Amino acid sequence: MEDSGNHVSSQKTGGVGEKTVIMLHSSAKSALGDRLSRDFRIIAVEVRTAHDLAGALKQHNISNFSLVADSLSASAAMAFALESGDSLETLTLIAPQAISTNGAAKDLPLEEIKPPTLVLFGTRDEVAAQESGRIFARRIPRCFYTLVYDAGRDIVADRPDALYAVVRDFLLYADKFVFPHEDSAINP
Partner 1 sequence: MKASFFCTNSYLSPEPYMHVGWPTPVRGSRPEVTAQSAEFALEQAQQADELGFDWVACSEHHYLPSLQTPNPIVFGAALSRVVKRARIALLGPLVSMNNPVRTAEELAMLDQLSGGRLIALFLRGTPNEFLAYGVNPEETRARTQEASQLIVRALTEPEPFGWEGRYFRFRTISVWPRSIQQPHPPLFYSGNSIESATFAAAHHFGLGVSFYPPHLVAQLTGHYRQECARNGWHPAPDQLVYRAFAGVAETDKEAEAMKGRFFGFAAIQASMFQGRGAAVEAPKLDAIAAPKEIGTDADRKNSGADKGQAGFGFGGLQFCGSPDTVVKQIAEFHELTGIGVLDVSFGGAGLTPEEAQRSFRLFGSEVLPRIRSIGAGPAITASAESTTAAK
Number of residues that make up the chain: 188
Specify which residues 92 forms β-bridges with. 68, 118
Closer residue to partner 1, CB minimum distance, 25 or 168: 168
Considering only 17-25, 43-51, 83-91, 175-183, which stretch makes contact with partner 1 by CB under 8 A? 175-183
Helix 50-59 vs helix 74-83: crossing angle, to nearest 10? 60
163 interacts with partner 1 by CB under 8 A: yes
186 interacts with partner 1 by CB under 8 A: no
Please check whether residue 124 is in contact with residue 157, taking contact to mean a CB–CB distance below 8 angstroms. no
Please check whether residue 78 is in contact with residue 103, taking contact to mean a CB–CB distance below 8 angstroms. no
* CB 98 to partner 1: min, Å: 12
Closer residue to partner 1, CB minimum distance, 13 or 146: 146
The binder of partner 1 chosen from 22, 28, 98, 166 (CB under 8 A): 166
The binder of partner 1 chosen from 147, 153, 160, 172 (CB under 8 A): 147
DSSP string, 94-153: ESPPPTTT-HHHHTS-GGG--S-EEEEEETTS-HHHHHHHHHHHHHSTTEEEEEETT--S
* CB 112 to partner 1: min, Å: 19
Helix (H, G, I), strand (E, B) or coil at 62: coil
Closer residue to partner 1, CB minimum distance, 104 or 128: 128
Instruction: Find, among 55, 114, 37, the residue nearest to 81 by Cα.
Output: 114
Considering only 7-15, 79-87, 101-109, 141-149, which stretch makes contact with partner 1 by CB under 8 A? 141-149
138 interacts with partner 1 by CB under 8 A: yes
* CB 169 to partner 1: min, Å: 8
Would strands 41-46 and 117-122 be described as parallel, antiparallel, or unpaired? unpaired
46 interacts with partner 1 by CB under 8 A: no
Binding interface with partner 1 (CB under 8 A)? 123, 127, 130-131, 133-134, 137-138, 144-150, 159, 162-163, 165-166, 177-179
